[in-house]
Amino acid sequence: MTDPGVVVPEPAAVTGRASTRHHWIVRLTHWVNAAAIVIMAGSGLRIFNAYPRFARKGETFCCYPFEGTPIPDAFTFGAWLGGARNWHFAMMWVLFLNGLLYIGFIYLHGEWRDLAPRRGDIRDAWEMIKFYAFVRPDHPRQGKHNALQKGTYFLLPWLALAAILSGIAIWKPVQLSWLTALFGGYVWARFVHFVVMALILLLSVVHVVMVFAVDPFSLRSMITGGYNEARSPQARNARPFFWRPAPAPGRDEVSP
């Protein structure tokens, strides 16, 4: 029984008060990761342009229809091959150390539970798809992340691992010939590295678009950590580019 003299605080979603959603380590590693991926992808494309094909000279490659066509300079970084390699290897270590910090933190802090697959995630992901397709009228109940977000965030570290291993395989194809052989040889290791990075960039672009299209209020949570649950996609019944206006800030609310 609750002591009548004790005031029990109401949930943030009811009062409109802001709560802390992301620890500062999560926010720091997020922005370091974003900057490093952009530089690493751009420098990698500059390296690719030094030989913009996967087939060896005199051979053909089955799976890349743009053989011999360089990537437009606007999407590259590093100015020249040597400069691009320096940037690429520098960002490799930044991403590796940043990833270790992030994974170590979410494991020790317990935040891995928010991302771990659970029974019912496939069903919940399908419900989110139905909602986004205007088949379901109400936003499915969710926690910190909806099922589609969880799937994406869970997939990214595995893509990163594939990028690391394939990158090492083409960096040291002689010293680590066994690793290169696991990818089917140098040509296929290079192709896998290219495809995996393209998938990471695609998921990153989709992530950014969905932030602005569905939950622009979450930007604050990745800068200051604060998040108002009353402005969450579930509270606003928000679909991409379709949502109810957020409630007006109340007396107790911390404005974004």
- pTM score above 0.85: no
Residue pLDDT, tens place only, 64-120: 999 999 999 999 999 889 999 999 999 999 999 999 999 999 889 888 888 888 888
For 76, the token pair is 């590259």
For 38, residues 6+ apart whose C-beta sits below 8 A from its C-beta are 77
Domain count, the chain: 2
What range does the domain containing 45 cover? 22-54+75-114
Same domain flag for 124 and 214: yes
104 located within any domain? yes
Return phi, psi of residue 213, to 5°.
-85, -25
Residue 223, strand partner residues? none
158 and 189, same domain (yes or no): yes
Q: Are 189 and 105 within one domain?
A: no
Structure tokens given for 60: 């053909």
**Tokens standing for 73?**
């300079």
pLDDT tens, position by position, 121-139: 899 999 999 999 999 999 9
87 and 33, same structural domain? yes
SS3 225: coil
Q: Is the dihedral of CA 62, 65, 68, 74 positive or negative?
A: negative
Residue 164 lies in a domain: yes
User: What tokens appear for 99 in the block?
Assistant: 């990833």
